[in-house]
Structure 1
Amino acid sequence: MTALGSLTRRLGHQQWFATTMRLLVPADRLVGRLTKGRVVAFGLVPTLVLTSTGRRSGKPRSNPLVYVPDGDAYVVIGSNWGQRHQPSWTFNLMAHPGAEVDVKGRRIPVTAEQVTGEERERLFQRLVQEWPAYRTYVERAGGREIKVFRLAPTANRS
């Protein structure tokens, strides 16, 4: 891990950092599009771009997310930077589990599954190892359970 990556992980616990990063998400999406998914989150942490289908609009919605691998799948968390409400993409995945991820320039169709129980705890611990501030986000969110999703590759969808 680079010194900048290490500093970013330490700053991730600060409220001002979360607020600033929320404001930078549109710029991060643009950088991800321009680099075809090769650079997301400014290259500081492992990040993918999740494209889900809007539950109401039916339109594609893209969000950069920190992930950890789990076998051939990707694990993401709906932390919303510790806000008290869930991010919209979690509702989109629950309504339409078929999605797509861009990881290091590769576009992969996936099926999302919300994980619960012991499996959720195991995967949450892996996510915390990658981004320790997730523990802070749980506290900041007032104890609401933050949803964890496993995104498993699927055959190309038509």
Structure 2
Amino acid sequence: MQKKMNARMIRKVRAGKAQFMGMDVLILNTVGSRSGQPRETPVAWFGDGDEAWLSIGSGGGSQNPDWYTNLMTHPEKATIELPGRGPVKVTPHRLDGAERAEAWKLISTAQPRIAKYQSKSDRQYPIVRLLPR
């Protein structure tokens, strides 16, 4: 079911309709951490300046999502796709400390439901800043 939903969202993003539940969505292209195979994943993003995107790895609450593991294993192979824009090579940076706190404030203000979702988990969701390279 998740694969079908992801495929549908990817088609929507490529067709220029890049929103889901009030959040902007991009396509994150990674390489599988174990398989080495290309992976495409729609993920919500939040603007962080002119040329930076923030994503949060909620992964259903209990564990980091596969896209996050893939991204951190092969950061040099990451690209994103945004509506009306070809693939952009990006460098991911996991945010910690004050940087994470600042990003969390931006994200939770934009989407309060994410803060509610985080409050139900025992782990702190990772936040990744994607910068063009």
Aligned to 2:118: 138
Once the two structures are aligned, what percentage of the paired residues are identical?
Answer: 29
Q: What per-residue deviation string (whole Å, max 9, x for no partner) do you get for residues 60-119 of structure 1?
A: 1111111111121111000124x2111111111111113111112312110111011000
Letter paired with 1:68:
F
Aligned to 1:4: none
RMSD over aligned CA atoms reads: 2.1
Is 1:78 the counterpart of 2:65? The answer is: no
Letter paired with 1:51:
N
Letter paired with 1:102:
E
Aligned to 1:122: 102
Aligned to 1:150: 129
Q: Which has the higher strand share?
A: 2
Q: 1:37 to 1:123 in 2, by over 3 A?
A: farther
Q: Is the 8 A contact 2:32 2:70 kept in 1?
A: yes
Q: 1:134 to 1:44 in 2, by over 3 A?
A: closer
Aligned to 2:46: 68
Q: Distance in 2 between matches of 1:137 and 1:102?
A: 26
TM-fit CA distance, 1:44: 3.4
Structure 1 SS opposite 2:35: coil
Aligned to 1:104: 83
Q: Is the 8 A contact 1:115 1:150 kept in 2?
A: yes
Aligned to 2:11: 33
Q: Is the 8 A contact 2:13 2:25 kept in 1?
A: no
Give the unaligned 5+ runs of structure 2. Answer: none
TM-fit CA distance, 1:27: 2.6
Q: Is the 8 A contact 1:41 1:64 kept in 2?
A: no
**TM-score by structure 2 length?**
0.85
Identify the range of structure 1 (37-46 vs 68-77) with the bigger mean alpha-carbon deviation: 37-46
Q: Is the 8 A contact 2:9 2:42 kept in 1?
A: no
Give the unaligned 5+ runs of structure 1. Answer: 1-22
Q: Is the 8 A contact 1:28 1:64 kept in 2?
A: yes
Runs of 4+ in 1 over 6 A off after TM superposition: none
Q: 2:22 aligns with which of 20, 35, 44?
A: 44
Q: 1:31 to 1:86 in 2, by over 3 A?
A: closer
Identify the range of structure 1 (131-140 vs 24-33) with the bigger mean alpha-carbon deviation: 24-33
Structure 2 SS opposite 1:57: coil
Q: Which has the higher helix share?
A: 1
